[in-house]
Structure 1
Amino acid sequence: MTQPSATTGQGRSRLGAVLVSPALILLAAVIGYPVVSALMTSFRADPTLQNGFFTTGGEFAGFSNYLHWLAQRCGDTSCPPGTLGDQFWTSVLVTLFFTVVTVSLEVVIGLLMAIVMNQAFAGRGFLRAVVLVPWAIPTAVTAKLWFFMFAYDGIVNRALGTHVLWTDGAWSARTAVIISDVWKTTPFVALLLLAGMSGIPGGLYEAARIDGASPFQCFVRITLPLVRPALLVAVVFRALDVLRIYDLPAILTHGGGGDGHATTTLSILTVRQIQQGYGGASAISTLTFVLIFGVALALVRAFRVNLVQSEQHGMS
């Protein structure tokens, strides 16, 4: 049997590069240009929009747009109330709060749902299909649905026997956003974890039961370690989504609640800033990108360390 030559391998590599190049060019045009344009705009004072694509005018402002968001504080008399310095840090805290709480709840609930759906029982296929319904509903529809449910005379207050203005108070508005987001996206997490559990050989559980392992020990020693790659994908995907969340709080609470900024995320603040200047909005977008990139890198490294340690522990 003849072995492929180096020339043949190089030819295949060139052919692969040629076939992939149209997709790379399209990605560069659709993704690369907006990113570079936003970065350049963030260093300009007051650019204006022209033809829907290009910004003109505006002098080079250096890092003034970034310093405006990062260094300006609006709690003293030198800064008028309602200016944007405090709003940025408030939006950062609100975004991180939503990310930690919603992702944690979705992972826990999604893991329980995946365990149930992974069992053999009558109607399992129907249950898996029904569980995916909230995830299939568009986010705008979900937000409007929960907006009516959280209304003063809505089903939530009637079911609980309360009279809460859910979208007006600071913590009640945040609670409404968290409940809505968890309801919609937990099925996505459950689906990913279920796919990871489906790949675990059943013989591992049978051998563990023969050795006297309890169901909890099987879950801790077998299920969790082997489902970690799927768990990494679910956590990273959902963390990136929540860090960029806009439509659900914007429709459900109009980005307000309490002092008017209780549910204002970084994406909502960016859209509001666009009405005042593209330079400041581009600076927020760049800072948001840096934050998302840092969180994603930290999560991937943390899970990678855990995976390597688990493999070494299993080989020892």
Structure 2
Amino acid sequence: MTRLKETRAAMFLIAPALTVLAVVIGYPIIRAIYLSFQANKSFNPKTGFFEEGGFAGFEHYIYWLTQRCASPTDPSGYTTCAPGVLATDFWPAIRITLFFAVVTVTLETILGFWMATVMNREFRGRGLLRAAVLVPWAIPTAVTAKLWQFIFAPQGIINALLGTDIAWTTDPWAARTAVIIADVWKTTPFMALLILAGLQMIPKDVYEAARVDGANRWQIFTKITLPLVRPALMVAVLFRTLDALRMYDLPLIMISSSSNSPTATISMLVVEDMRQNNFNSASALSTLIFLLIFAVAFVMIKFLGADVRGSSRQPSTPPAPQEDEVSSASPLVVDRAVLAAADTTRGGI
């Protein structure tokens, strides 16, 4: 009975927050899904006005996924969209968005881990270094994009330093490289900050025990640091991946706002479609982006161990070390690392 009262009290206390979240987050999602099944406004020659098209079913989804447009001769039929139609840029934008996400997140994870390892050490001026590292992340993205646009200009700093004449804003691969460099520079501190939080939760006595048992730096890194920091690392990768899939302002300001530019992302197509007053088809594209991000988040949480709840799915009994592990490090180091990882991950990050 006491537990039931506590549950009711808890629900009563969180009800206002849940209501606000339902209005702020739930309503836009539901509204976008509803509009995605409605036809865009079209001109009615009988009345001389633009009118709502009514229910359109999966017409907008077919338009984006298959590049099929309404036939000008047969109102009930479809034909392949002509070059220049926004739908023809859908799959190239998907590939570019995924390419940016994979490359930038990989580089940011490696550099962020290295930066977090350095900032986790004891040395004079560590606080000043941590504050300085966060400066790129604190700068607004629009300012960052303008800054790197000047750096990668035809007569900019990069070409002057390298003694080259690379067209960073027009050549496809040079433009993508420029966007990747700018994005890595800006968001690596975010990764480093999250990973540093995980590193600081590792007990120091675990490292001391490993050194006493004769473990080298590589064994300490692979047997202790990586297993213990893995929950924080996967959450950082998850957050950064979801953010990279929504990349919009950096390539738009740095390179071009055109939907067929070599750095056009899927979010840029949504805005471009809205500028053409096709709000319902833009809602369908937004729904597709939502489904893509949801699928990526589900895979990372379900199969890659990005435990955002702070719980652990570790088995109650640590697995026995393999023969090759025993030969590469002392059994005491392995056992202590595994037990410490299990204990720490139960508390989450």
TM-score if structure 2 supplies the norm length? 0.80
Which residue number in structure 1 is paired with residue 28 of structure 2? 34
| Counterparts in 2 of 1:17 and 1:78: CA distance versus 1, 3 Å | closer
Q: Distance in 2 between matches of 1:271 and 1:220?
A: 45
Cα shift readout 1:199-239 (whole Å, capped 9, x = no counterpart): 11111111111111111110011000000110111011000
C-alpha displacement of 1:250:
1.2
**What secondary structure does 2:128 align onto?**
helix
Residue 61 of structure 2, aligned match among 63, 66, 71: 66
Q: Distance in 2 between matches of 1:191 and 1:144?
A: 25
| Counterparts in 2 of 1:32 and 1:285: CA distance versus 1, 3 Å | same
Q: Distance in 1 between matches of 2:233 and 2:198?
A: 8
Which residue number in structure 2 is paired with residue 265 of structure 1? 265
Structure 2 residues without counterparts, runs of 5 or longer: 43-50, 70-78, 320-337, 343-349
* Alignment pair present for 1:180 and 2:182: yes
Structure 1 residues without counterparts, runs of 5 or longer: 1-5, 49-55
**What secondary structure does 1:254 align onto?**
coil
Q: What is the correspondence of 1:1-316 to structure 2 with a 5 Å cutoff?
A: 6-7=1-2, 9-47=3-41, 57-72=52-67, 78-256=80-258, 260-276=260-276, 277-304=278-305, 308=313, 312-313=318-319, 314=338
**Further displaced range: 272-281 or 290-299:** 272-281
Q: Distance in 1 between matches of 2:252 and 2:262?
A: 11
The answer to whether the 8 Å contact 2:152/2:168 transfers is yes
Cα shift readout 1:31-51 (whole Å, capped 9, x = no counterpart): 111111110100111159xxx
Runs of 4+ more than 6 Å apart: none
Partner letter of residue 4 of structure 2? Q
Q: Distance in 1 between matches of 2:136 and 2:255?
A: 20
C-alpha displacement of 1:252:
1.0
The answer to whether the 8 Å contact 1:193/1:230 transfers is yes
Cα shift readout 1:223-268 (whole Å, capped 9, x = no counterpart): 0000011011101100010111111111111245xx9431111110
TM-score if structure 1 supplies the norm length? 0.89
Percent of aligned positions that are identical: 54
Cα shift readout 1:128-183 (whole Å, capped 9, x = no counterpart): 11101001111111111111111111111112111112111111111111111100
**Further displaced range: 106-115 or 119-128:** 119-128
Q: Distance in 1 between matches of 2:8 and 2:41?
A: 42
Specify the structure having the higher radius of gyration (Cα). Answer: 2
Q: Distance in 2 between matches of 1:106 and 1:242?
A: 11
Cα shift readout 1:270-306 (whole Å, capped 9, x = no counterpart): 0001123112101110000000000011111222299
Q: Distance in 1 between matches of 2:239 and 2:84?
A: 34
The answer to whether the 8 Å contact 1:73/1:79 transfers is yes
Q: CA RMSD in A?
A: 2.3
The answer to whether the 8 Å contact 1:91/1:261 transfers is no
Aligned length: 299
The answer to whether the 8 Å contact 2:120/2:199 transfers is yes
Task: Considering fraction of residues, name the structure with more helix.
Answer: 1
